[in-house]
A and B are shown apart, each in its own frame.
Chain A
Amino acid sequence: MRAILAGLVVAAVGVAGGATTLAVGSAAQWAFVDVPSLNTFIHLANQTIGFVNERAGSEPVPLIPALGQGVGLRLSEAVGGVLRVGLQMEVASVGTRTQGTWTAEETSHPVDISLDVGFVAFAAELDLVLVPDILIVSASAGWGTSRIGYRCVFPPTLPTDWSLPFLPKAEDTTYTSAGPVGAVAVQVSLPLGPGASAGFEVGFRLAPPSVPRAGTGVLDLNADGLGDPVGFSGPWLGLAVRMEFNL
């Protein structure tokens, strides 16, 4: 086994032509996530809010924006030549919220629903330098954890003579899940000076959905008795800065 690893390292260094570089990079991301179970809950909650808005006869509560875009940051460090190996850490976050109050018969019915989704991953990275300082393709695999903060204040009785079997569950809970994560990315950059370059990065993260938990409870926002699987897969677009040092 050690011989195989040593062979791979030798091969990698050989491919690199003997020139070894330490590359340190960071990329601020505009991340797109696809979380259908959370967006289904948001759709359900919005249907409920919209239904009550039409009948409560008071100031409407704004609908909840769907979860789709967030921000992220990727930090990486890799060693090698044409082929580089290293480690990376990635964080990303998306969130949404609505706040408002229905007022009926001098009684206030406050509504405050927020969803904050965070993601952290640590991964091993393999970079292929196609055009030095300009074009790099990287792949990574590792372990990621996601955190879903669900905060909800919702009136148990609605200011209308209609009743709905689904109401957003009033609670303040943080659910977590963990699982494997993989990503591929392409960096296109321009040299800024000796060892420094900056440019764009586009990538796609694959984080299989799993059901977040909080203690013995599972995330079930749509109240169908089944857990809501949440993944963090999706593309990202980033602004990347990279520093390279010859070793």
Chain B
Amino acid sequence: MEDALPSGVARVSLRRRLAPLWPWLIAMVALALPFAVDSFSLFQLTMVLIYAIAILGLNVLTGISGQFSLGHGAFFALGAYATAILLEAGAMPYLLTIPAAAILCLVAGYLIGLPALRLKSVHLALATFALAIAIPEIVKLSIFEHVTGGVHGILVGVPPVPPVLKQAIGVDQWLYFLTLGIGFGLYLMSCNLADSRTGRALKALRENEVAAASMGVATSRYKAVAFAISAMITGIAGSLCALVVQFVAPDSFPFQLSIALLVGLVIGGIGSLPGALAGGVFVVFVPNIAESVSKGLAGAIYGLLLIAIIFSNRNALGRH
């Protein structure tokens, strides 16, 4: 018992010494994976990254500014449709459709955010939920059918690998690296946002709205900005999803998608930006695991796994 203490101290200090190495280790694994796994697993990993980006977007809203959204699946769908429709029209090269989708979702997020964010947290969650339910129905409307393809959706061609990389990597690897790069960029941007003047204003909003307002923070404008940036990041994830899955249809974006993103957010830890990755892993793999255990009880097993992970991970949840 007596020598337990020194070894414990040693372990902590070793861990502390290793701490700066973690990001490098993760980066090396992330860069090496595409050359180590088969193309299907790589596709799944790309989907993990895409959902991680979408959850990152939600985290900017919930983690930094303290607002809740049950409707981010709508922005995911908007980004995906923007890319698919632009490609279908042959309007621009596919790489440019990603920033186009981002700008569209930024503007849409701001416009929807302005009125919606006058609502208090729970009511805001419901208002955004309405958005998530409405989007698939709107896409199906016959007046938009010639653009959206209605219930039948739009096929997106396989995005070509840039000529300079063609010799070295295949399509699945290219899409993985593209998603990884964009995701990393958005992660850095979110970290910077959290530490910026805007970020501090948003955190003040999260902690106490009245106090923030009395300190001179324009609450509804800042909330709308947070909502817009959050919608933009999630929209970029949707745009990447269209390129990777190469198909969009209303049934790909049911309101359950918004719930799945929220579940991923809570699993990864609200306010924990790297936790978005854990959330992405959960969103992609846990439904498959639940189904592989039992088809009839897949929903119940999903719920059990969710509860098990929440309890095994309890102290990480809700951390800012």
Q: Indicate whether A and B interact.
A: no
* Residue positions of B touching A, CB distance < 8 A: none
* Residue positions of A touching B, CB distance < 8 A: none
